[in-house]
Amino acid sequence: MFLRVGLFTLIISLFAHGAMADTEWRIGANMGSIHIKPRREFNQINPGLFVSATFRAGQRFEYGIQGGAYVNSYSERTIYASTYANWHVAQLGNVDVRLGGFVGLFEYPVLSERARAIGWPTVGDYILALGPSMKMRFQNGVDFTVGFLPVKTKETAGVFTFQLSVPFGWQR
């Protein structure tokens, strides 16, 4: 009970803060993945769409939420919801470089049984995924994000993911 109340309070706090802070809405595309030392053939073209809200957008530290769907490495649909945070670390010409990480629940029916068998957190067919990320924000508003899933299985030694996004709608 206490955990549920704490999680609910955290979610409400994030949304309340986001409503008052600099919030940037983005629409984006999941593009692809590269598997490290693959031991099988993966689908590495992973088209999909997402929507995100970044709170404290453009400040040294920013964080947000994201939800979307894409065709995964097993050529199945994945629906996901995640949260992320990143810090400004460098300005390279007109590119703002940010480092951070993400955590979320990703639908992977093909992997959920194996995840449960080793004690990895799951919710039905959704698997907890987390890892570091690097975001490059160009002056024209385009974000290019590289994420890394540090998984070590019989099939791969990790996965790099690639996304593009642009701001849309009312920006505060």
Mean pLDDT (whole number) for 118-147? 96
Q: Does the pLDDT of residue 141 top 60, yes or no? A: yes
Q: How confident is the model at residue 22 (pLDDT cuts 50, 70, 90)?
A: confident
Tens-place pLDDT, residues 62-112 = 999 999 999 999 999 999 999 999 999 999 999 999 999 999 999 999 999
Q: To the nearest whole number, what is the mean pLDDT of the chain?
A: 90
Q: How confident is the model at residue 10 (pLDDT cuts 50, 70, 90)?
A: low
Q: What pLDDT, on the 0 to 100 scale, is given for residue 153?
A: 85
Q: How confident is the model at residue 12 (pLDDT cuts 50, 70, 90)?
A: low
In this structure, what token pair is assigned to residue 131? 């890892």
Q: Left, alpha or beta for 89 (phi > 0: left; psi -120 to 50: alpha)? A: alpha
3-state secondary structure of 87: strand
* Domain covering 2-167 assigned CATH 2.40.160.20 in the classification: yes
Continuous segment of H or E residues that includes residue 138: strand 126-138
In this structure, what token pair is assigned to residue 70? 């894409």
In this structure, what token pair is assigned to residue 46? 């992973």
Q: What pLDDT, on the 0 to 100 scale, is given for residue 154?
A: 87
Q: Does the pLDDT of residue 14 top 50, yes or no? A: yes
Nearest CA to 33 out of 155, 128, 167, 117 is that of 155
Continuous segment of H or E residues that includes residue 33: strand 23-35
Q: Give the number of other Cβ atoms within 10 Å of residue 170's Cβ.
A: 7
Mean pLDDT (whole number) for 121-142? 96
Decide: residue 46, CB within 10 A, 0-12 exposed, 13-18 middle, 19+ buried: buried
Domain boundaries defined on the chain: 2-167
Q: Left, alpha or beta for 169 (phi > 0: left; psi -120 to 50: alpha)? A: left
Q: What pLDDT, on the 0 to 100 scale, is given for residue 9?
A: 57
Q: What's the gap between Cα 89 and its chain centre? A: 19
Q: What pLDDT, on the 0 to 100 scale, is given for residue 2?
A: 47
Q: What's the gap between Cα 47 and its chain centre? A: 14
